[in-house]
Copies of this chain bind each other. A is one copy, B any other.
Amino acid sequence: MSDQREDVLYRAEKAFQVYKKITPQKRAEFLYAIAEQIDLLGDALIQAAMEETCLPEPRLKNERGRTTNQLKSFAKLLEAGDWLQASIDTGDPERKPAPKPDLRKMLYPVGPVVVFGASNFPLAFSTAGGDTASALASGCTVVVKSHPAHPRTSNLVANAIRAALQQCNLHEDIFQEVTDTSIEAGQQLVKHPLTKAVAFTGSYQGGKALFDIANQREEPIPVFAEMGSINPVVVLPGIVRENKTLPPTLASSILLGAGQFCTNPGLLITIDTDGLAPFLHKLSAEIAQAAPGTMLHTGIAASYKHKKSEALKQKGVLRLVEGIAETTDRQGAPGLALVDAHNFIANTVLKEEVFGPYSLIVKCENEKQLLAVIESLKGQLTATIFGLPEELPDYQDVVDSLHARCGRLIFNGVPTGVEVTKAMHHGGPFPSSTDSRFTSVGTDAIYRFVRPVCYQDFPEDLLPLELKNKNELNILRCVNGTWTHNAIETFNLQQA
């Protein structure tokens, strides 16, 4: 197997030498073609994904739409070209004491990228998901290691990508799928000297192991591991007392997709107040009446039950909801528990993610304790505040403290549901992800797979189109300190 896997990256590198040179327009065409080919798979894809993941049909159809929209949004990004961060500082041969050189830089793809498919998004974060789409958009070639929980789904999508390569008459090794799902196979891919970056969505253990391997290589490479978090939700007293639609809203976010989202609200933080008892009663009732969710695979279900039971055993933790009993070993009964701030702060187990439909409520005596709870947390993908708009300004310290610990700060909305746009940031401080500077959702995800290269005093003829004076692609460039779509007038150059 080792030889075959090595071969995969030699082929990916060879294809990269070709792929990095094709025009952005051609790359966009390829991304559109993948979306088209995925749509052509029709119901067969949804059926396979349903059978393998037990996720419901509407969710999977929605996820398919998200997947093809991601591909199209990167295609549009390439067509616009503004993303390249092209910068030009024109030279001045007459400057004293030394001539000023002409400097022009833009972003270039780094090389073959290894993508690890995620179990909880069999389409949107798997074979042709956001990682693959952004890497292919950047001009990198991609080797996907399929997730063992949905091999047929992965293979169907891989076929669609291969069909798109053929349709666009592109090198067949621009995209490759590795179906050996062993941990060792994945590690070998990360260790391979020709691999230049890694994208991963999954557990802390998995992501951190790959991160360590990548940093111990002779040439360390970046690993963009999105490792989940407990996504603290602060519920301020005013909205607790109001006690209107928030309990069912929170419950449905906790239960969504059997809680199998990296943005699942695993921690609710409140201040003890008059209305808290009825509020918690209402929330508990919502969770208690929910049927056990069927999880992605028995391994995840077993891990959920184990982690939940460990959490419930911790000092001072009070179980609020028993949950309807599971009838298969792939199910996970929803859970809700309560702990006071003192016990929460002192306990590291309670700060770990319980991946599934479970949430822990931390009851604080006052705002000072609320702050101490937040300050005891590590990095998070998201942090949320529910409150009345008029009470929010009184909690500026809470806002600041959450801001310092998360990648996305939400007001009066649930953390589940990650909008795919440019302004999204899905990546928080460690350990929620390995590199908080980059997002894995939205078009800015492309920046994970590029690096700047600067040309000094290069002849106009040999510059890439994007950096030539004329700017015939009409892209946004920073020219002598000003962002503009304008061409550089040779006349002005001579005057400068």
Contact = CB atoms under 8 A, between A and B. Distances in A.
Interface of A: 80, 82, 87-89, 98, 100-101, 103-105, 108, 110, 211-212, 215, 219-220, 222, 378-379, 389, 392-393, 399, 403, 406-413, 417, 419, 421-425, 429-431, 434-437, 439, 444, 450-459, 461-462, 476, 478, 481, 483
A212 B393 CA distance: 43
B100 A456 contact: no
B425 A454 contact: yes
A331 to B, nearest CB: 26
Number of copies: 2
A324 B413 CA distance: 74
A31 to B, nearest CB: 17
Contacts of A481: 80, 422
A211 B216 CA distance: 10
B100 A423 contact: no
A454 B423 contact: yes
Contacts of A88: 423
B452 A439 contact: yes
A407 B453 contact: yes
Contact of A434 (B220, B419, B454): B220
B461 A408 contact: no
22 contacts: A87-B422, A87-B423, A88-B423, A101-B410, A105-B423, A105-B424, A215-B215, A220-B434, A222-B435, A222-B437, A406-B453, A408-B453, A409-B458, A411-B462, A413-B456, A413-B457, A422-B481, A425-B453, A425-B454, A436-B451, A437-B452, A439-B452
Contacts of A425: 105, 452-454
Contacts of A220: 211, 215, 430, 434
A264 B495 CA distance: 32
A211 B457 CA distance: 33
Q: Could you say which of A417, A436, A453 has the most chain B C-beta atoms within 10 Å of its C-beta?
A: A453
Contact of A408 (B406, B410, B454): B454
B89 A421 contact: yes
Nearest to A104: B423
Nearest to A211: B220
CB-CB nearest 7 A-B residue pairs: A425-B454, A103-B423, A87-B423, A410-B456, A89-B423, A89-B421, A408-B454
Given A219-B430, A220-B430, A103 B451 contact: no
A458 B411 contact: yes
